[in-house]
């Protein structure tokens, strides 16, 4: 049994009601500008920015404080090229064989296909792994709780941090993604969660003309 230990909470970010309203509005306006980008430029990104965004992601609330995530940052051209080859192999299978008609129809407005040039063009790929369990030094397994929910929240915070830093991202999920364990040398207790492509948009980047649901559509106040 470990006895819980408490320390004073000194980091409350207290604001006036006015500041609260302004900050909530400004953050909303900023996040409304986030889009998934598929046309990346090759422009370099300072690694320190990525490091800060990852530390931000690591602040995510998580099941039983197990922090069940691992981020692999890939800037190496050869590794990016191998990831592209493997991802495109899976994507061809998906678009040509595995995807249902309904799924392909849902993807139509996005105009995506099995070609993923951004996996090589973008300066960084961040492979996010969900640690389903931990392997202790003596070889026994220790459980993680709500790991998918936790990693999902961390990923959301990471995407917001990347956007806040003035970069763009693409949430990419070649399915299945088991090839990432092999290429990136990650153990089997870590399940690939998704691949985040990070960088700057190409000068003439375009995005699908799609709409976000309104507040009334996504919420209920009782
Ligand atoms: C879990 C998840 C998986 C996704 N997988 C892909 C993907 O494999 N390829 C892709 O081009 N976009 C992918 N997306 C991006 C979505 O298509 C995009 O977020 C959605 O169309 C809304 O567009 P927006 O991000 O520009 O608002 C994925 C997003 C999420 C959250």
Pocket of ligand 1 (CB under 6 A): 35-36, 38, 110, 112, 170-173, 194, 207
Give the integer Cα–Cα distance in Å for 133 and 136: 10
Summarised one tens digit per residue, pLDDT across range 36-48 is 999 999 999 999 9
Summarised one tens digit per residue, pLDDT across range 99-155 is 999 999 999 999 999 999 999 999 999 999 999 999 999 999 999 999 999 999 999
For the question of whether the overall pTM of this predicted structure is more than 0.95, the answer is yes
Which option is the CATH number for 34-203: 3.40.140.10, 3.30.9.10, 3.40.109.10, 3.40.50.300? Answer: 3.40.109.10
Kindly give the distance from the C-alpha atom of residue 94 to the centroid of ligand 1, in angstroms, as a whole number: 16
Kindly give the distance from the C-alpha atom of residue 5 to the centroid of ligand 1, in angstroms, as a whole number: 41
pLDDT of 1 > 90? The answer is no
Kindly give the distance from the C-alpha atom of residue 36 to the centroid of ligand 1, in angstroms, as a whole number: 6
Helices (H) and strands (E) in the chain, counts: 8, 6
pLDDT of 156 > 90? The answer is yes
Bridge partners of residue 133, in order along the sequence = 143
Atom of ligand 1 lying closest to residue 207 CA: 26
Atom of ligand 1 lying closest to residue 112 CA: 11
Kindly give the distance from the C-alpha atom of residue 16 to the centroid of ligand 1, in angstroms, as a whole number: 36
Q: Tell me what pLDDT residue 92 has.
A: 95
Give the integer Cα–Cα distance in Å for 45 and 151: 24
Atom of ligand 1 lying closest to residue 109 CA: 21
Kindly report whether the peptide bond that precedes residue 50 is cis, defined as omega within 30 degrees of 0: no
Please tell me whether residue 177 adopts helix, strand or coil conformation: coil
Mutate to test the pocket of ligand 1, among 169, 172, 206 (most ligand atoms within 8 A of CB): 172
Summarised one tens digit per residue, pLDDT across range 61-107 is 999 999 999 999 999 999 999 999 999 999 999 999 999 999 999 99
Percentage above 90 pLDDT, the chain: 99
Kindly give the distance from the C-alpha atom of residue 170 to the centroid of ligand 1, in angstroms, as a whole number: 7
Burial classification of residue 174, based on how many CB atoms lie within 10 Å of its CB (0-12 exposed, 13-18 middle, 19 or more buried): buried
Percentage above 70 pLDDT, the chain: 100
Give the integer Cα–Cα distance in Å for 111 and 115: 11
Summarised one tens digit per residue, pLDDT across range 157-208 is 999 999 999 999 999 999 899 999 999 999 999 999 999 999 999 999 999 9
């Amino acid at each position: 049994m470990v006895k819980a230990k408490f320390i004073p909470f000194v980091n409350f970010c207290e604001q006036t009601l006015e500041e609260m309203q302004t900050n909530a509005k400004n953050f909303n306006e900023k996040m409304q500008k986030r889009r998934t980008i598929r046309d990346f430029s090759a422009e370099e990104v300072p690694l320190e920015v990525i490091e800060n965004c990852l530390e931000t992601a690591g602040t995510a609330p998580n099941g039983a404080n197990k922090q069940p995530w691992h981020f692999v940052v890939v800037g190496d051209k050869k590794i990016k090229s191998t990831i592209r080859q493997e991802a495109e192999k899976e994507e061809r299978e998906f678009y040509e064989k595995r995807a249902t008609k309904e799924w392909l129809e849902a993807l139509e407005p996005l105009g995506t296909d099995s070609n993923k040039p951004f996996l090589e063009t973008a300066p960084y790929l961040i492979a996010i792994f969900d640690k389903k369990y931990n392997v202790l030094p003596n070889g026994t397994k220790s459980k993680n709780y709500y790991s998918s929910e936790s990693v999902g929240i961390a990923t959301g915070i990471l995407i917001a941090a990347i956007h806040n830093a003035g970069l763009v991202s693409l949430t990419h999920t070649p399915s299945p993604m088991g090839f990432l364990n092999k290429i990136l040398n990650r153990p089997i207790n870590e399940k690939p969660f998704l691949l985040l492509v990070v960088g700057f948009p190409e000068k003439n980047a375009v995005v699908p003309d799609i709409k976000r649901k309104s507040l009334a559509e996504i919420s209920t106040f009782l």
